[in-house]
Structure formats: structure tokens, C-alpha cells
């Protein structure tokens, strides 16, 4: 596997900042739990969650991602070939104890969030010092949604996360299937918007490897470790796409891009992009790529 190298560089030279492992597994867990939304795009719910006397285990972290999917997070200080199987054991336990998890969500986030838990897409995120090539292969053979994330500490206060492998848990439809679904989701007779919706879908899924499409009633989310785009069902003349970009860092164009920070809308992301034509889709490509890079 490729190794990320970090340098402190000036006009007078460059010195490498050597990566280092955490002192203990608990150090990684505490750091991620305290910053889970920023680091993983997951709302933290519980730490060291007991699976009861029969299973006699403790789930390192429980959370809920931006699409409402339950998330199990397992940590390892270094390389541990058992992390995936351990995490899958806890994920299966969670799926078998849905009402217990929904009670936890209700207590932490309210009844509305509990009613909207996305049980079709539960996730396992493993955060470890490293993985073997067998781990990376095994992930792709599973039917569950799994992310293998490698952590690194650099210097005194830099912390890095790198997604090495992702399994979607769900088959990605081919182009014909995506086009058919898009056709059914737009007003009858508007073939142009149907074709535009299919082209947007293909453009987002084609940005890179390890992209998962999560279908919700109000929107479709596209993510790697975190959501980078949300697409609402097409309207009569346009398609709304929401991107995980800071609108303050984008040159907003009236009628094309809009800052929706604090404005109620379906999906996730603070930058709204309104697409009415293939030309608009071409204009949006750089924004799509920039948002993908944040995930």
C-alpha cells in the first residue's frame, strides 16, 4: 500500500514529519469520538456500548451517519487481522437489536431521528494503524457496508485519516438501470430532465472508486466515507444537487449556485447547484470534483 508522506517545506528546504502510532487504542477512540462528525460524518451516540450478558461484548462506538444509517466504529492501535470480523459481529448484533438502537437514537436525537433510521444500509467503519492486503480483499467480498480507515499522527497535533477500502454493501446499478430509475422519478413526458438526471448520477458515481449511493425517500446521497453530494428528485425543469462545500469559498452564480447554509432542504450540503441542461452539468463538474475531494 502507498504511504502518505508529510513534509514541513519552506524556501530553505523540506523536512519530513514522521508518522507515529497512537500511544494506546483508547487515544484514537477518544479523539475520534470527540470529533466524529468532522472526521467521519457521523453523529456520536455511545461509547463502549454493552451487547449484554449473552454476547458479552462492547461496541467501541455507535453513531448515526448523515443519511440516518446506523454505524459501528471499531478501533485498533496497529495492524490487527481480527478487526473486520469483530466489527461485523457487532454490526450483526446491532441489526438483530433494532429496537434497542432506536431507543438510543430517540434518547439522544429525538423521536423523528429514531423513526427515520435507515436499516437498509448499516455501516461498519474500522479505524486502525494499518491493514493487510488480505483485509482489503476481504472487504470487497462482504455484503455489508464497510470502510477501512487508516489513521496517522504527525508531529504534536496533526491527525490524518485515509480511506483504504470501501465496500458498498449494495450493488451499484448499471447505466441502463440508473436511467430507468431516473425515468420513473421525473414528471411524465419530460424525457430531457430524465436524461439529465441519469447523466448527473453517472457523473457523480464516476468521480472515483469506493463511491456508495444511498437512496432515501427525499434524496439520493453519494458518499465515500462521508456524503459529498445529495440529489433531490428532479423537478419539471431542473435538478437540485447539494454539495459538501463551503459556499463562502465558491464564486456564487445567481440561478446556478446558492448558499443554503441554515436554509431547510432535503439532503446534505450547504451549496445548492441548480442544473437545467447538459451545459449546466459541464459547468458543475469542477464543483463535483471539489466536493468529492472533501469526502
**pLDDT for the residue 295:** 84
**pLDDT for the residue 168:** 77
**pLDDT for the residue 34:** 97
**Nine-digit cell string for 187:** 414528471
Q: What does the alpha-carbon distance between residue 201 and residue 196 come to, in Å, rounded to a whole number?
A: 9
According to DSSP, residue 163 is labeled E
| Neighbour count for residue 172 (Cβ, 10 Å) | 11
From first CA to last CA, the distance across the chain in angstroms is 20
**pLDDT for the residue 170:** 55
Contact by Cβ (8 Å): 239, 193:
yes
Q: What does the alpha-carbon distance between residue 146 and residue 124 come to, in Å, rounded to a whole number?
A: 5
**pLDDT for the residue 187:** 52
Residue 147, phi then psi, degrees to nearest 5: -120, 125
**pLDDT for the residue 114:** 96
Q: What does the alpha-carbon distance between residue 213 and residue 211 come to, in Å, rounded to a whole number?
A: 7
Q: What does the alpha-carbon distance between residue 68 and residue 151 come to, in Å, rounded to a whole number?
A: 25
Q: What does the alpha-carbon distance between residue 255 and residue 56 come to, in Å, rounded to a whole number?
A: 56
Contact by Cβ (8 Å): 36, 61:
yes
**pLDDT for the residue 177:** 41
**pLDDT for the residue 18:** 87
Q: What does the alpha-carbon distance between residue 41 and residue 27 come to, in Å, rounded to a whole number?
A: 19
Mean pLDDT for each 10-residue chunk of the chain (295 residues)? Answer: 78 90 94 96 96 85 96 95 91 95 97 94 95 88 89 90 82 43 51 93 91 91 94 94 95 96 92 96 96 91
Residue 259, phi then psi, degrees to nearest 5: -80, 115
Amino acid at each position: 500500500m502507498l504511504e502518505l508522506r508529510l513534509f514541513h517545506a519552506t524556501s530553505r528546504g523540506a523536512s519530513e514529519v514522521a508518522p507515529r502510532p497512537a500511544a494506546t487504542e483508547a487515544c484514537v477512540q477518544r479523539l475520534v469520538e470527540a470529533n466524529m462528525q468532522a472526521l467521519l460524518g457521523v453523529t456520536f451516540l455511545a461509547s463502549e456500548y454493552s451487547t449484554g450478558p449473552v454476547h458479552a461484548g462492547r461496541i467501541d462506538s455507535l453513531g448515526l451517519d448523515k443519511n440516518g444509517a446506523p454505524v459501528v466504529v471499531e478501533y485498533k492501535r496497529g495492524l490487527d487481522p481480527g478487526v473486520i470480523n469483530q466489527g461485523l459481529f457487532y454490526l450483526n448484533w446491532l441489526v438483530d437489536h433494532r429496537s434497542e438502537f432506536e431507543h438510543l437514537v430517540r434518547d439522544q436525537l429525538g423521536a423523528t431521528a429514531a423513526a427515520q433510521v435507515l436499516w437498509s444500509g448499516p455501516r461498519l467503519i474500522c479505524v486502525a494503524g494499518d491493514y493487510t492486503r488480505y483485509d482489503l480483499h476481504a472487504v470487497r467480498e462482504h455484503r455489508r457496508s464497510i470502510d477501512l480507515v487508516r489513521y496517522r499522527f504527525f508531529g504534536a497535533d496533526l491527525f490524518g485519516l485515509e480511506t483504504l477500502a470501501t465496500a458498498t454493501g449494495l450493488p451499484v446499478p448499471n447505466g441502463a438501470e440508473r436511467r430507468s430509475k431516473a425515468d420513473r422519478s421525473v414528471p411524465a413526458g419530460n424525457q430531457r430532465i430524465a436524461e439529465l438526471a441519469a447523466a448527473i448520477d453517472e457523473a457523480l458515481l464516476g468521480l472515483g472508486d469506493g463511491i456508495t449511493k444511498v437512496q432515501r425517500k427525499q434524496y439520493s446521497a453519494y458518499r465515500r466515507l462521508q456524503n459529498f453530494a445529495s440529489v433531490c428528485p428532479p423537478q419539471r425543469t431542473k435538478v437540485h444537487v447539494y454539495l459538501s462545500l463551503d459556499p463562502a469559498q465558491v464564486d456564487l452564480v445567481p440561478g446556478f449556485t446558492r448558499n443554503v447554509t441554515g436554509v431547510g432542504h432535503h439532503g446534505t450540503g450547504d451549496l445548492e447547484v441548480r442544473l437545467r441542461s447538459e451545459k449546466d452539468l459541464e459547468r458543475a463538474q469542477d464543483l463535483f470534483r471539489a466536493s468529492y475531494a472533501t469526502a
